[in-house]
Amino acid sequence: MDLLSNPLGIHERALQARAQRMELIAQNIANADTPQYKARDLDFKQVMNQELGQPIRATNAKHYAIAETTDSNAVKFRVPFNTSFDANTVEMSIEQGNYGKAAANYQATLSFLESRVSGIRKALKGE
Amino acid sequence: MSIGNIFGIAGTALNAQLVRMNATASNLANAGTAAGTEAEAFKAKRTVFKALVDDNLTNAGAPYVGGVKIDRMQDDASPIKPIFDPSHPLANAEGYIFPSNVNEVTEMVEMMASSRSYQNNVEVVNTAKQLMMRTLELTRS
């Protein structure tokens, strides 16, 4: 039990990565009208791989498959579905969807953290 | 603090979209102006945006790195069509006046586009604010 050495587990780093992803998508939305701007996104799996020190693998036939990535930089350019006249690759509806999803993911990680915090609180109080 | 940076980034975008909306308002206000020469005629103003991705454009680590700024204002290149109106006080020797090249329909579209972009960024701020408040309440209860 790593209650005192690492009380929040991987969720602490996960929350930072979630927030970084939201920041990148906010940058995309801010630059929706900037000529030549290339939309970027964070490869969450790669961040977690670096953090865990070992690749996330599907070890059971019922696990969902995860897309494989090879290069080391977790921030990547988005591949647009359509081209635009000013060479901008931000597609607003895609970014809106991703931002909403990233916000939901952030809340999910927050919920994990909340349960960790309340668990530690209970353990300390001896309830 | 990444969530905090979202406020700065969306703030630069709100600022830029507001400048764009102001330019549109100026264009619409000057749509009816006329001049005696082609050089003096009012040309519609267009804003050109630039991303603040490079650290040379801003202070490294500033809360708005990745935002957007107005690079420059540019005159619309569409041609000015002279009108033959000898009775006009500004008419030149040949009897022509030079109206502005503002196209009202283009300006309305521009206004709607900047208004939508503004709303998008307001929503970004709202979501980030809610998440930040929830994060602050993490240790409560």
Interval A89-110: pLDDT, tens = 999 999 999 999 999 999 999 9
Q: Give the pLDDT score at B60.
A: 62
Q: Tell how strand B96-99 and strand B34-35 pair up.
A: antiparallel
Q: What is the pLDDT of residue A11?
A: 86
In a domain, A1, yes or no: no
Instruction: Report residue B7: phi and psi, to 5°.
Output: -65, -40
Region label for B9, one of left (φ > 0), alpha (ψ between -120 and 50) or beta (otherwise):
alpha
Name the residue in chain B with its Cα closest to that of A122. B141
In a domain, A118, yes or no: yes
The closest alpha carbon to A122, from B141, B53, B11, belongs to: B141
Confidence of residue B59 (pLDDT cuts 50, 70, 90): low
Residue A5 lies in a domain: no
The pLDDT value recorded for residue B1 is 56
To the nearest 10°, report the CA torsion of A60, A66, A67, A72: -100
Q: Which among A15, A22, A35 is the nearest to B49, CB-wise?
A: A35
Q: Minimal Cα–Cα distance from A69 to chain B, Å?
A: 24
Longest dimension (CA), chain A: 64
In angstroms, the first-to-last Cα distance of chain B is 24
- Looking at the structure of chain B, the number of domains it has is 1
Q: How far apart are CA A115 and CA A119, in angstroms?
A: 6
Q: What's the confidence (pLDDT) of residue B55?
A: 60
A4 is a domain residue? no
Domain that holds residue B60: 2-139
Q: Alpha helices, DSSP H only, in chain B?
A: 2-29, 104-136
Lowest mean pLDDT among A60-64, B8-12, B22-26: A60-64
pLDDT tens sequence across B79-126:
999 999 999 998 889 999 999 999 999 999 999 999 999 999 999 999
Strands A75-77 and B34-35: unpaired
The answer to whether the CB of B122 falls within 8 A of the CB of B14 is yes
CA distance B16 to A60: 50
**pLDDT one-digit tens code per residue, A50-74:** 777 766 667 777 776 655 554 557 8
Q: What is the ipTM of this complex?
A: 0.83
Q: Is A117 on the interface with B (CB under 8 A)?
A: yes
What pLDDT does residue B127 have?
A: 94
Give the containing element (helix H, strand E) for A46.
helix A44-52
Calculate the CA dihedral of residues B29, B30, B33, B35 and round it to 10 degrees. Answer: 160
Q: What is the pLDDT of residue A74?
A: 81
Q: Which of residues 54-113 of A touch B (CB under 8 A)?
A: 92, 96, 99-100, 103, 106-107, 110, 113
Q: Which domain holds residue A64?
A: 11-125
Structural domains counted in chain A: 1
Q: Rounded to whole angstroms, what are the CA distances from B56 to A103, B51, B52, B59, B63?
A: 30, 12, 9, 7, 14
Asked whether the beta carbons of residue B49 and residue A34 sit closer than 8 angstroms, the reply is: yes
Residue B16 and residue B47 in contact, taking contact as beta carbons nearer than 8 Å:
yes
Note whether A38 and A77 are within 8 A (CB).
Answer: yes
| Residue ranges of B 103-122 with Cβ closer than 8 A to chain A | 113-114, 117, 120-121
Distance, in Å, from the CA atom of A118 to the CA atom of B33, rounded to the nearest integer, reads: 68
Over 90: is that where the pLDDT of A25 sits? yes
* B13 lies within 8 A of chain A by CB: yes
Cα–Cα dist A27/A92, whole Å: 12
